[in-house]
Amino acid sequence: MTEQMLTSNGSAPATMRRSPLLASLLGALAHTLVCWLALQLDFFREGGELFYQIIAVVWSGYLGFFACFVLGLNRHFRDTSMTLPIMLWATFGLLLTAYYIDQVRLCVMILFFAILQPGVFRLRFPSFVAVSALCVGLYGVIIWRLSVTHPEALDMTAELIQWAVFTLITAGVVVVAAEISSIRQQLGSRNGQLAGLVDRIQEMAIRDELTGLYNRRHAVERMVKVREMANRNALDFAVAYLDLDFFKRVNDTYGHNVGDEVLRSFAALMGEQLSGRDFAARLGGEEFLIVLVKSDLENCAQLAERVRSAVPALRFASASDLSVTVSIGVAQFSAGESLDQLLARADDALYKAKHSGRNQVCLAADGATTSETEEGTE
């Protein structure tokens, strides 16, 4: 609650400083002062008692808004700044006092443009027009009502001229607001495009463009963090090195377009096998890496075997007769070893899988490799 009410230096909450409430409170002070001067000059028709009652009602509304910000209730609104409700309340207070003020009614109504100011930048344009039209219309209703109930209290010609001037100025403000709204929309569109471009650049910086998997640099950065946690005994993790068998033949026989299709399909297959905390990367060419977080050698080997057994079933639109296989080396992180040592052990296991006939998974344990499967070659 302390953080909601005041910041450490005693200032108002940030959500309130960014809202139109403080500006409206200052406007309310000016409004109160103008009405009080009208009372002193005997222009307030019903006298002091009603004046203080009206001012109390108006200020109770502002205090209610202030309480909403202090208690954080404004966060339940779509617009946390509560711009529209505050503007409507301020307009209501202005029109209420304008009904009881004679001679200097326009001086009070001019304060409406101070009410409009925050709405120029915060309200959607249709809402801004609605508030402006509401005030102009009700101002006209006040003049009509006074012409019926208190015709002796106003000069109808002067009042209509003042209303017309007020309407023209309000229309001018609406035109300016329309231009600002257009500029805001253009800026919003440009900002959206820039945000999309930044996201795209960030994705390009961490992902392989062809497969959508992480690139080598980002995969290593993530592995560094995983290794730090593993060294603190927070988790275990294992890695799998994968290499598509005889991939050069695919490019030479079917062309690089088919080769790219094979890489994309293989990457998608790996992605289907991974949980949210695990990740895969393309290291370059036909070489890939899978990192299983909170996993041991056995679980990683099982996942590698699922991938290996599924690869020959892949079919490619551009080469329906093509079938590929993959060789995989698996290693589990041992406390204290470097990433280079871990990856070297996985690479050694992959080397054995390649030289033991391909299309198989080999495990690395304590620096030695053992063959898990003895599948046939391609």
Catalytic positions: 286
DSSP conformation class of 228: H
Each as own residue / partner, the long-range contacts of residues 217-225 (CB below 8 Å, 24 or more positions apart, any chain) are: 218/281, 219/279, 219/281, 219/283, 219/289, 219/291, 220/339, 222/279, 222/291, 223/291, 223/339, 224/339
DSSP structure string for 322-344: ----EEEEEEE--TT--HHHHHH
Is the Cβ–Cβ distance between 256 and 189 less than 8 Å?
no
Cα(250)–Cα(319) distance, rounded to whole angstroms?
Answer: 10
Burial of residue 47 (number of CB atoms within 10 Å: 0-12, 13-18, 19+) = exposed
Separation in Å, CA 252 to CA 165, 287, 342, 345, 361: 82, 18, 33, 31, 26
Question: Which residue, among 294, 367, 295, 288, has the nearest Cα to 328 in the 3D structure?
Answer: 288
Determine which helix (DSSP H) or strand (DSSP E) holds 57, and give its type and residue range: helix 48-71
For residue 265, the Cα-to-chain-centroid distance in whole angstroms is: 32
Residue with tokens 């070893």: 337
Torsion (CA) 39, 41, 44, 46 in degrees, nearest 10:
90
Side chain identity at residue 340, one-letter code:
D
Burial of 115 (0-12, 13-18, 19+ CB in 10 A): buried
- Taking the C-alpha atoms of residue 258 and residue 250, their distance in angstroms, rounded to an integer, is 8
